[in-house]
Amino acid sequence: MVLKVLIVDDEALARARLRTLLGDCSAPAASVQAEAANAAQAVEWLQHHDADLALVDIHMPGADGLALAQMLRTLPRPPAVVFVTAHAEHAVQAFELEAVDYLTKPVRLERLQAMLQKVERLAHANRAPEPDLPQEILVIQDRGSTVRVPLAQVLYLKAELKYVTVRTRDKSFILDASLSELEDKYKDHFMRIHRNALISRRAVRALVKHHDPQEGEGWAVRLEGIDELLFVSRRQLAAVREVVAGVG
């Protein structure tokens, strides 16, 4: 595929350098659809066009790149956001905004190519769900009726006393099952992030700093479609980082 790219940077020379580097990339190739010198121009263009990727500088006049990333999340089809900046101190905040990557200037061609491959993997995952996922279901007894919940709709499984909470984007169910058994049976779909929780690999959107009343300071994952954060144990943190980076 050819990734459609929007470059957002207030410096014309920086935009030109990125355009040149992107022209040297392949597998995947990248096509620069437009350039913007500030956040307002970027939002205006994206209201009328689509892009797979927005390469965003952080320090710009007016709304900065972090504010722009917040705005882009409200679009019907937001592009993947990658920050390209000379300043490394905003990396944690960038990933809390669900940025796909964070590149520091001067950008190396090899690093840019690796980032494009990550964006391509995410684009394929979002556009082409695995055909076998809808065929697998969880059969749940819910208020006297039997509900068939497609596995592809399940965002997480969380052990609560003797039962497991099954969470989809729209609803929660209670399943009489063992979390360990579910993990063994559906290990290709879910990964463990804590002794009491499994999450859908395909639903992971970000890893963020988080304070949990019971666990204390640490990290949590944000899943697609829900506001709830799920705490990640230190033992599982490295594996979750790999999934967030697109290599899991």
User: Which pLDDT tens digit goes with each residue over 131-178?
Assistant: 444 458 898 987 777 888 999 899 999 998 889 999 999 899 999 999
Compute how many other C-beta atoms are within 10 angstroms of the C-beta atom of residue 144. Answer: 5
d(CA 138, CA 44): 44
Nearest to 127 by CA among 202, 37, 221: 202
Tell me which of 71, 95, 127 is where a domain ends.
127
Residue 99 and residue 80 share a domain: yes
121 with 197, same domain: the answer is no
Of all residues in the chain, what percent carry a pLDDT higher than 90?
57
Q: State whether 12 and 72 are in the same domain.
A: yes
For 197-208, how does the pLDDT look when each residue is reduced to its tens digit (9 = 90+)? 999 998 998 999
Total structural domains within the chain = 2
Same domain, 78 and 154: no
Q: Residues 99-123: pLDDT tens digits?
A: 888 899 999 999 999 999 999 988 7
Q: Are residues 123 and 137 in the same domain?
A: no
**Residues contacting residue 8 through CB under 8 Å, at least 6 positions apart:** 35, 36, 37, 38, 39, 41, 42, 54, 55, 56, 57, 60, 65, 68
My answer on whether 39 and 57 are in the same domain is yes
- Within this chain, do residues 97 and 138 fall inside the same structural domain, yes or no? no
DSSP, collapsed to helix, strand or coil, labels residue 28 as coil
| Axis crossing angle, helix 39-46 with helix 65-72, rounded to the nearest 10 | 20
Q: 235 and 149, same structural domain?
A: yes
The CATH number linked to 221 is 2.40.50.1020
Residue 76's domain is classified under what CATH number? 3.40.50.2300
* pLDDT value at 130 more than 60: no
Do 171 and 120 reside in the same domain of the chain? no
User: 88 burial class (0-12, 13-18, 19+ CB within 10 angstroms)?
Assistant: exposed
Cβ distance 212 to 218 under 8 Å?
A: yes
Do both 60 and 140 map to the same domain?
no
210 and 138 within one domain: yes
Q: Count other C-beta atoms under 10 Å from residue 38's C-beta.
A: 19
Better pLDDT: 60 or 144: 60
What is the residue range of 97's domain? 2-127
Burial status of residue 111 (CB atoms within 10 A of its CB: 0-12, 13-18, 19 or more) = middle
- Whether 12 and 96 map to the same domain: the answer is yes
- CA distances, 28 to each of 71, 118, 120, 246 (Å): 27, 10, 7, 15
**Domain end: 104, 127, 150, which one?**
127
How far is residue 122's CA from residue 75's CA, in Å, rounded to a whole number?
Answer: 18
The predicted structure's pLDDT at residue 125: 66
pLDDT of residue 121: 85
Q: Is the pLDDT of residue 54 over 60?
A: yes
Which of 89, 105, 127 terminates a domain? The answer is 127
Residues 137, 139, 142, 146, CA torsion sign: positive
Q: What is the reported pLDDT for 90?
A: 72
State the chain's mean pLDDT as an integer. Answer: 88
